[in-house]
Structure 1
Amino acid sequence: MNLEEPVRKAILAELERQAASGRLTLDKSGSGPIRLDGRIDVDELVMAVLGALAGGP
């Protein structure tokens, strides 16, 4: 089982969610690295990754 893709999607989705709430700015222009500016709620990010590993949405 390849876990990399679900974890990657979960991380990006959570960062986008946090950016939508105004806590941080997320710039993913292009296909390379992303740029973040602001505060990241690490606990929420961890929960998103754990959810992805458990097979959650």
Structure 2
Amino acid sequence: MDPIIQICVPPILLAIVAAGFGGLISICAGAFNRADRAETEAAAEADDQAE
């Protein structure tokens, strides 16, 4: 195997995996944030109707 391939490929693969993992975390965080915001708005609306 070519030494250039042995040196260059692992960091590239690591960067691709890290980017994918970061994107997944970002998507999950956005989904949880949206759900939390919806829950907060529903609670605020219930409080408004109770008054």
Note whether the superposition's TM-score is higher than 0.5: no
* Larger relative strand fraction: 1
Return the index of the structure with the highest Cα Rg: 2
Higher RCO, Cα 8 Å, sep 6+: 1
TM-score, with length taken from structure 2:
0.41
Q: Which has the higher helix share?
A: 2
